Amino acid sequence: MPAPEPIWDAGWHRRATRHPSPNFGPRPQGGPIDLAVVHSISLPPGVFGGPEIIQLFTNQLDWSAHPYFEQIRGLEVSAHFLIRRNGEVIQFVSVSDRAWHAGRSCWRGRDNCNDFSVGIELEGLEGGQFEPSQYTALAALLRDIHDQWPLAGVVGHEHIAPGRKADPGSGFDWSLLQTLAGWPAQRFPGHFSTS
């Protein structure tokens, strides 16, 4: 029986749908990749399932298509992954590269979390509820990442940029994620210092 195909191909997850983003750069040479940062996003806010998030991360968003887009006109950002409401996983940047998701941030005394983290966006509203399929997909993705790049922690954007960011917010169930991932509490917010 042939060996199963590796999950990772140069930092790309073979089970994720690829939409390569131009918004990335090299990570610091020799540095660890040991943090996962969970975000939430919807475009326009509160609207799910459309192409706008993919368009934003690939610099193809029509800024005139919705009044809200004027507020973010010219934004060049990315995440490594997006998990849709139905659990579909989309990848924009190789985990080997530095995506532009965290901004000004700090974790355990280290600034510039983009340098050493994997950014995972959940389609949803900051402070809102997320779907069971998203938690299942996120837990599976975290386990796959951890197999290749051992993660010391999983945090929300709110934990590495307090006062500036508040996602995924109060509606996110960290205990459920911990249970599904099957990991010790010490890897999750509330059980370690993020600053």
Give the active site residues.
Answer: 121
Dist. CA 28–CA 173, nearest whole Å = 32
Pairing of strands 35-41, 81-83: unpaired
* Residues near 160 by beta carbon (within 8 Å), at least 6 away in sequence: 37, 102, 105, 106, 107, 113, 117, 194
Extract long-range pairs of 53-60: CB within 8 Å, 24+ residues apart.
Answer: 53/82, 53/121, 53/123, 54/19, 54/82, 54/90, 57/19, 57/21, 57/23, 57/82, 57/92, 58/19, 58/20, 58/21, 58/22, 58/92, 59/21, 59/22, 59/23
CA 121 to chain centre: 4
105/74 Cα distance (integer angstroms): 21
